[in-house]
Amino acid sequence: MTSDAEWAKLQQALTRRIGPRAVSDLEQGTIVVIPSITFPVVELDKIIGAQRYEERTLFLALLLARPGLEMVFVTSLPVDPAIVDYYLRFLPDADDARSRLHLVTLDDRSSPALSEKLLSRPEVLARVRALAADPAEACVVTFNVTPLEVEVCRRLGLPLYGPDPALARLGSKSGARQVARQAGVAVLDGAEDLFSIGEVGDAARAIRARRPEAEAVVVKLNHGFSGQGSVMVDLAGAEVPFTDAPTLFCAPGESWPGYSAKVAAEGAIVEELVRVPGTVSPSVQIHVSPSGSFEVVSTHDQLLGGPGNQVYVGCRFPAHASYRLAIQEDAVKVAEILAAAGVVGSFGIDFLVVPGAGVTPLRGPLGPRPRIYLTEINLRMGGTTHPFWMARLATGGAYDVAGGALVAGGTAKAYVATDNFKSPSLVGRSPASVIAAVDDAGLGFDPVSATGATLHLLGAVPDHGKVGATCIADSPAAAEALYQRVAALLVG
């Protein structure tokens, strides 16, 4: 295990080696992918096929198109060979890429996150370390970063390409509101750093006092994700105890006693719940290099579902032209704050765009001058990370920041993506059969036209009847039509 001084040297060496470049531009050395989704087990258990979500990061295998690159990919469960073959078929020389892809599995179905399991398996850590033969030419990429991921990297003696967990507060719900205000970006009426339901109730009543027209609030746990840590509370009966008001929890089986304990443990925010028709929730993805330079990577319109449309279920790329560049501008202001604080890696910033009079002079289907609010900063990979990079790497495209488009072969691409094609008819089927069904229907990705559906989360098919797809086309309408055809084929 590295000492503090050795760790600092490793991280400094990574900065000198990469400079202003993103991970996608690494051309040699070894990328060690440890896609541990390190959140509380009680929260992960709410996601169907949660351990198979590690496989979403297999889009990184497409970086093996660079002949000088080696990759070590670690998973809790074995990856079906058909899935490996599927990703390698996007490369010009699959056999050569296969020789440089080293799969390591713990073959462990237990609940703890991958990083926690790795720390209890020194023999696996030793194998990973041996596969990354030259520490000076290797780095570790993770889904999110907690002290567990740092400890794994220390034991490997390898640098980590990601944000220091000491900066985690900046990506909490409370921290996001504070960073937004520092950057001069609007947030919804609300309050942060609340550590009891009593404080949450007082803050909700204060919102109602300031804004008598407010109908409801949403309470969000500081470290909740995909909407699972949110609860909506009706303010119509503001005079009654807060927990007696009409309430809708986003997570199945949640209740006030359990939720109150989580608020006390990690803190929460409360914000006005906007119910204006036509309100949308786009996001911007940013990448910060170890040198501190940053770039806008993409924009998306998030597809939300579940209780009160608070749960992330998919995305459309790019975000609508009427506000795409405006949210990019706000995201850049926030990125400047985060990069200056030392944040490294890829992260997402979520916004709420509300029709009506506001501060942003735009016109479009939402009407004139929509209001734009920052709602979350997620210092990690997210639901939009793998669709964008799969589309970018599969098409060979490049993101045009000025226009907010992914351009491949001179054509701007669009896509619709989801992790949530689910059907009982898929349970028991093999990943290979699902891949074949999409291909046989003429819906699979065609490298000549750079259009078609790419699949992910295939490992969740046999046990959970669940698969994801990114449906790429030459226009938003064509991408939507392709998405509907894939949905009809897989879900019925």
Tens-digit pLDDT string for the chain (492 aa):
667 787 788 888 787 777 665 555 566 789 999 999 987 766 666 677 788 999 999 999 999 999 989 999 999 999 999 999 999 999 999 999 999 999 999 999 988 899 999 999 999 999 999 999 787 889 999 999 999 999 999 999 999 998 988 998 999 999 999 999 999 999 999 999 999 999 999 999 999 889 888 889 999 999 877 667 889 999 875 566 788 888 989 888 889 999 999 999 999 999 999 988 889 999 999 999 888 889 999 999 988 876 666 677 899 999 999 999 999 999 999 999 999 999 998 899 999 999 874 434 344 444 455 789 999 999 999 889 999 999 999 999 999 999 999 999 999 999 999 999 999 999 999 999 999 999 999 999 999 999 999 999 999 999 999 999 999 999 999 999 999 999 999 998
Q: Is 112 exposed, middle or buried (0-12, 13-18, 19+ CB in 10 A)?
A: middle
Query: Where do the domains of the chain lie?
Result: 4-162, 189-272, 282-490
Strand order in the sheet with 247-249: 190-194, 268-272, 216-221, 230-234, 247-249
**The residue to which tokens 């501060």 are assigned:** 359
Tokens 């609030």 label which residue?
217
The enclosing H or E element of 329 equals helix 324-341
Query: What's the rounded Cα separation, in Å, for the pair 371 and 429?
Result: 46
CA separation for the pair 404, 299 (Å, rounded): 7
Q: Give the containing element (helix H, strand E) for 278.
A: none
Q: State which H helix or E strand residue 88 sits in.
A: helix 81-88
Reduced to 3 states (helix: H, G, I; strand: E, B; else coil), residue 447 is coil
- State the DSSP code for 248: E
> Span 282-490: which CATH code?
3.30.470.20
CA nearest to 225, candidates 423, 369, 479, 46: 46
Q: What is d(CA 471, CA 417) in angstroms, rounded to the nearest whole number?
A: 6
CA–CA distance, 401 with 325 (Å, rounded to integer):
9
Burial of 315 (0-12, 13-18, 19+ CB in 10 A): buried
Range list of H helices, 159-216: 173-183, 197-210
Residue whose tokens read 């991921």: 149
Which residue, among 423, 301, 417, 308, has the nearest Cα to 366 in the 3D structure? 301
**Helix (H), strand (E) at residue 262:** helix 256-266
- Say how far apart CA 427 and CA 433 lie, in whole Å: 12
Contact between residue 232 and residue 308 where contact means Cβ atoms under 8 Å apart: yes
- For the domain made up of 4-162, give the CATH fold: Rossmann fold (3.40.50)
Stated length of the chain:
492
* 233, 246 contact by CB (below 8 A): yes
Can you tell me whether residue 72 is helix, strand or coil?
Answer: strand
- Contact status, residue 460 vs residue 49, Cβ threshold 8 Å: yes
Nearby residues of 339 by Cβ (< 8 Å), 6 or more positions away:
288, 292, 293, 294
Of 186, 240, 236, the C-alpha closest to 214 is 236
